[in-house]
């Protein structure tokens, strides 16, 4: 123990002796021990946060360089930085095990728990393991980012393949492109399995039975309780998804016929307008309700109004600023990757970055001028405004209240991209404003993104939990993936899959090792936030017509939620903004209620389910 810590311990002991003597009580040895441990833990955490903050800046820059310019050199630098960062985090987490969190003050106990459970992919402490694990994760990320396949004599990227899936109505073409992208992932399988083995070894060293339990421990409740929460929330919204599945399948059957999409059973994955069948808005033309149509197409309006990728980002920033939040720093515009650069291999998967835990926030996107990316921009900026809001918190609190909060913020703002808002910013005219008879069309467009996504979100980590726990072995990776997709989504591949297929690896968040439960939680909470904000604003109309654009009173409470970061249990943060301590799917049901009624009428006589 250092001289400083010894002096502090002596002072604390003196205070305890004085207070006990004054009351003529005996000295409590356990109280003295607890006080000494608290003093030691506080000093340890001060050192840990300082070292982690410095390492985070170094690693973030290396990862940014690699993601925006994938070369052997940047891959090597990222792998080296990742190994160093993992070694440090694992070393500090292991060192923290000498402290009994049950005997520490709440603030210290919280930080210790964050330190132990906050490593996404922990490396074992044995020699060379961190370097091996970091190389595996970097190689997996690079393999996905540089993935291409041959189609009609040309090598095409995921961007190009996705455009075909979104726009083509030729089932032979969508099948070919869908299968083509999945030729990129089989080479990842062995590296992925090796990474799982190493990461589980690392998790066990930190006191967790497996990595899935370590991830689930980060929600201010025991892992088994969190799993029960997910099941409860899914139970609230599953009936809505089943109505959407039934309705969409009926429309696809009417379009393609029984030979392509049967009228009963699961839906063929490549027909849903998305490479992973996770969001279905690209097939709105097929499922458009027989109600008053919208008088505008947002993609078309963006193009006609001369929007560029940068102007879309500026528009997203302006929404946050309208709530009273400060504009983004000039460095954001100078350093972000908003479009795909020429002559470089890059990781196009949209993401938000915080490189210095202060003001160097950025986004990385290969932005295109369309409605999907217009919403994505708002989503990513939500991360950046959140990151900047909690910059004054201690390092271990510089995060979302839970990871679902971080994903929900931008999408919560996106729910205010209503026709009224689009009129306010000049994207549509008074004549194009949809009346109440167009509500079903508006809600259908939103449901194809929001409701279709929910079972996909629980499938990704449902599969991964099985892998990380050891229940799903490498030879069963693909079968387990499709078993879950059928169970949760009612989705099947367009044709039997090859024996060597590794279809989970065709989704970025698997080789990129991004936990996915956060997205499911965010899709629950964004509607919860939206309802609370609309109530704060005094809105009295339908929930789906409410926009908080320009409401600085809501913005003040919103910013207070962001500034709290991870400094308190997430139910405390949730309660301050919504008035409730429990995540709740009832706001989704309220939001989509008119559409539920409509789909039930349309589905009458159909054999729903699969």
Pairing of strands 267-268, 351-354: unpaired
Count the Cβ atoms, other than its own, within 10 Å of residue 214. 25
Determine the 3-state secondary structure of 352 from DSSP. Answer: strand
Closest CA to 276 of 378, 174, 346: 174
CB 227 within 8 A of CB 582: no
DSSP line for 402-458: SHHHHHHHHHHHHTT--HHHHHHTTSS-GGG---GGGHHHHHHHHHHHHHHHHHHHH
Which position has the token pair 């909060």?
405
Closest CA to 140 of 416, 422, 515, 507: 507
Closest CA to 31 of 19, 22, 42: 19
The span from the CA of 282 to the CA of 279, in Å, is: 8
Q: What is the distance in angstroms between the CA of the first residue and the CA of the last residue of the chain?
A: 64
Closest CA to 569 of 400, 387, 409: 400
The radius of gyration of the chain's CA atoms, rounded to the nearest angstrom, is: 25
Closest CA to 230 of 458, 399, 438: 458
Residues recognised as catalytic: 349-350, 379-380, 383, 407, 509, 519
DSSP 363: E
Count the Cβ atoms, other than its own, within 10 Å of residue 168. 18
- State the Cα torsion 509-510-514-519 to the nearest 10°: 60
Closest CA to 290 of 422, 437, 408, 125: 437
């Amino acid at each position: 123990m250092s001289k400083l810590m010894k002096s502090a311990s002596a002072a604390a002991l003196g205070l305890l002796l004085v207070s006990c003597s004054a009351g003529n009580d005996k000295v409590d040895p356990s109280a003295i021990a607890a006080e000494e441990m608290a003093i030691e833990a506080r000093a340890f955490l001060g050192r840990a946060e300082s070292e982690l903050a410095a390492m985070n800046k170094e690693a973030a820059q290396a990862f940014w360089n690699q993601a925006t310019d994938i070369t052997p050199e940047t891959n090597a630098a990222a792998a080296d930085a990742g190994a160093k960062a993992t070694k440090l985090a694992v070393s500090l987490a292991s060192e923290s095990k000498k402290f009994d969190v049950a005997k520490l003050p709440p603030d210290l106990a919280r930080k210790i728990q964050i330190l132990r459970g906050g490593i996404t992919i922990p490396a074992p402490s044995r020699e060379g393991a961190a370097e091996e694990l970091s190389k595996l994760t970097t190689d997996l990320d690079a393999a996905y980012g540089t993935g291409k396949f041959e189609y009609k004599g040309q090598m095409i990227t995921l961007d190009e393949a996705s455009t075909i899936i979104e726009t083509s109505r030729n089932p032979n073409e969508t099948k070919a492109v869908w299968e083509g992208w999945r030729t990129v992932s089989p080479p990842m399988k062995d590296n992925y399995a090796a990474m799982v083995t190493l990461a589980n070894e690392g998790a066990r060293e930190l006191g967790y039975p497996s990595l899935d339990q370590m991830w689930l421990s980060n929600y201010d409740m025991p892992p088994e309780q969190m799993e029960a929460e997910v099941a409860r929330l899914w139970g609230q919204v599953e009936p809505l998804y089943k109505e959407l599945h039934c309705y969409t399948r009926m429309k696809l059957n009417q379009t393609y016929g029984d030979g392509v999409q049967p009228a009963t059973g699961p839906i063929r994955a490549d027909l849903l307008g998305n490479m992973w069948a996770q969001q279905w808005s690209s097939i709105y033309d097929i499922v458009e309700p027989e109600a008053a149509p919208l008088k505008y197409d947002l993609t078309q309006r963006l193009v006609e109004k001369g929007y560029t990728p940068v102007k879309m980002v500026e528009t997203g920033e302006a929404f946050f600023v309208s709530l009273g939040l400060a504009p983004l720093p000039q460095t954001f515009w100078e350093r972000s990757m908003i479009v795909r650069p020429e002559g470089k291999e890059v990781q196009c998967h949209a993401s938000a970055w915080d490189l210095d835990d202060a003001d160097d926030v950025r986004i990385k996107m290969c932005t295109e001028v369309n409605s999907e990316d217009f919403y994505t921009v708002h989503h990513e900026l939500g991360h950046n405004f959140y990151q900047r809001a909690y910059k004054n918190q201690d390092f271990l609190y510089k995060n979302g209240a839970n990871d679902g909060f971080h994903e929900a913020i931008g999408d919560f703002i996106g729910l205010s991209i209503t026709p009224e808002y689009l009129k306010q910013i000049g994207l549509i005219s008074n004549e194009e404003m949809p009346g109440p008879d167009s509500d079903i069309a508006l809600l259908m467009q939103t449901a194809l993104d929001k409701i279709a996504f929910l079972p996909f979100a629980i499938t990704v980590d449902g599969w991964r939990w099985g892998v990380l726990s050891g229940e799903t072995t490498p030879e069963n990776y693909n079968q387990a993936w499709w078993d879950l997709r059928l169970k949760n989504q009612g989705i099947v591949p367009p044709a039997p899959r090859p024996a060597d297929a590794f279809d989970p690896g065709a989704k970025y968040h698997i080789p990129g090792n991004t936990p996915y439960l956060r997205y499911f939680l965010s899709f629950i909470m964004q509607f919860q936030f939206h309802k609370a904000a609309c109530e704060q604003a005094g809105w009295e109309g339908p929930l789906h017509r409410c926009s908080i654009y320009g409401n600085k009173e809501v913005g003040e409470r919103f910013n207070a939620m962001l500034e709290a970061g991870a400094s308190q249990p997430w139910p405390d943060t949730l309660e301050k903004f919504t008035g409730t301590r429990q995540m709740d799917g009832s706001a989704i049901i309220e939001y989509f209620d008119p559409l539920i009624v409509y789909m039930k009428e349309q589905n009458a006589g159909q054999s729903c389910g699969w």
